[in-house]
Amino acid sequence: MAAAPATAPARALVSSSSSPSRGVNFRSGTSHLNLRAAAASASAPGWRRRDPAVSVAAGSAQSALGALAVYPKVDTLLDSVKWDSKGLAVAIAQNVDTGAILMQGFANKEALAKTISTKKATFFSRSRSSLWTKGETSMNFINVHDIFLDCDRDSIIYLGKPDGPTCHTGAETCYYTSLYDALQGSKPNEDRQVTTTLYSLEDTISRRQEEVTEGSGKPSWTKKLLLDNQLLCSKIREEAGELIQTLLENEDRSRTASEMADLLYHAMVLLRVKDVKMEEVLEVLRKRFSQSGIEEKASRNKS
């Protein structure tokens, strides 16, 4: 069966419990510098190390820079950014799990330093000529897991997890206005997002469920699956079996990709029935990156 077509002032103390387990990395070309290496606890092995709490006075750029004394080579890295004539660079916030672009602002050296030390996305306000941390008013912080510089080192990505909607309108991201939709006469829709293929499929399945609730529209395969749990479960088993057969019978790669697409589609319908978002699944996977399979299974048995 083919698949259906298809967002309070900055905290004075940031504890390790809210911090990601990996260091803040800057990558350029083939180089990879881990800013956490010298500061991490020697008792914790590998990338599972935890940071000690970092004390940063709210709104103080100098304190942010001071706190970075624990990071080796940080001054060199900050100086390596190609700041413009006003000392700024474009800073983009991206959701670590969905890949969605959340917002775009500007950062100067102090804003980037504060982001590194507090792990909260911090920008420089050109209108107020001061630093501001996303969420300091709404409490919808963007918790930074990693930071990237582009190949020219003149723009920055804060890769993080938002505590809530990012846009001041209440939308999940600031990017919900499609120019192609506008050219066709459609008005901006805050629920519309810049989505990848996976999330476009999730959105389509969600709309089919709304049609089921409203009792409108023609029957579709997705609607039938949403209304019949037994049918849905039998199709997931069937598609899983067909995927397995591509390995056992040494079928070609395109066949494997096709069967995986079928299985993924049907599994996503089940997620919709259970009211589980794909983002939640990807978050679980991300959190397992720092665990061995044995540790993860042991933690499941305890719970």
Domains recognised in the chain with CATH numbers: 13-162 (3.10.20.810), 195-302 (1.10.287.1080)
- Share of residues in the chain with pLDDT > 90 (%): 54
Backbone angles phi, psi at 86, to 5 degrees: -100, 5
Mean pLDDT throughout 105-114? 97
What pLDDT, on a 0 to 100 scale, did the predictor assign at position 218?
73
Using the predicted structure, report yes or no on whether residue 26 has a pLDDT greater than 50.
no
| Buried/exposed code over 175-185 (b: 16+ C-beta within 10 A; e: otherwise) | bbeeeeeeeee
- Closest among 193, 198, 196, 187 to 173, alpha carbons compared: 193
64: amino acid identity, one letter: A
Can you spell out the DSSP letters for 258-301?
Answer: HHHHHHHHHHHHHHHHTT--HHHHHHHHHHHTTS-HHHHHHHHH
Using the predicted structure, report yes or no on whether residue 267 has a pLDDT greater than 50.
yes
Q: Rounded to an integer, what is the distance from CA 76 to the centroid of its chain?
A: 28
**DSSP reduced 3-state for 158:** strand
Using the predicted structure, report yes or no on whether residue 150 has a pLDDT greater than 90.
yes
What pLDDT, on a 0 to 100 scale, did the predictor assign at position 152?
96
Choice between 93 and 302, residue whose per-residue pLDDT is larger: 93
264: amino acid identity, one letter: L
How large is the greatest C-alpha to C-alpha distance in the chain, in angstroms?
65
What pLDDT, on a 0 to 100 scale, did the predictor assign at position 40?
35
Mean pLDDT throughout 119-128? 97
Mean pLDDT throughout 76-95? 96
Using the predicted structure, report yes or no on whether residue 187 has a pLDDT greater than 80.
no
- Long-range contacts formed by 69-76: CB under 8 A, 24+ apart: 70/38, 70/39, 71/35, 71/36, 71/38, 71/39, 71/116, 72/35, 72/37, 72/38, 73/33, 73/35, 74/35, 74/113, 74/116
Q: Which of 27-31, 118-122, 168-172 has the lowest mean pLDDT?
A: 27-31
Element (H, E) at 77: helix 74-80
Q: Which of 90-99, 171-180, 243-252 has the lowest mean pLDDT?
A: 171-180
- 91 and 110 in contact (C-beta within 8 Å)? no
Site of tokens 């670590």: 96
Rounded distance between C-alpha atoms, residue 266 and residue 51, angstroms: 41
Rounded distance between C-alpha atoms, residue 101 and residue 173, angstroms: 7
Half-sphere exposure of 90 (CA within 13 A, CB side): 9
- 156 and 148 in contact (C-beta within 8 Å)? yes
Using the predicted structure, report yes or no on whether residue 276 has a pLDDT greater than 60.
yes
Rounded distance between C-alpha atoms, residue 265 and residue 110, angstroms: 45
What rounded mean pLDDT belongs to the chain? 78
Rounded to two decimals, the pTM is 0.65
Rounded distance between C-alpha atoms, residue 201 and residue 224, angstroms: 16
Using the predicted structure, report yes or no on whether residue 162 has a pLDDT greater than 70.
yes
Using the predicted structure, report yes or no on whether residue 117 has a pLDDT greater than 60.
yes
Report CA-CA distances (Å) from 49 to 22, 149, 261: 8, 24, 37
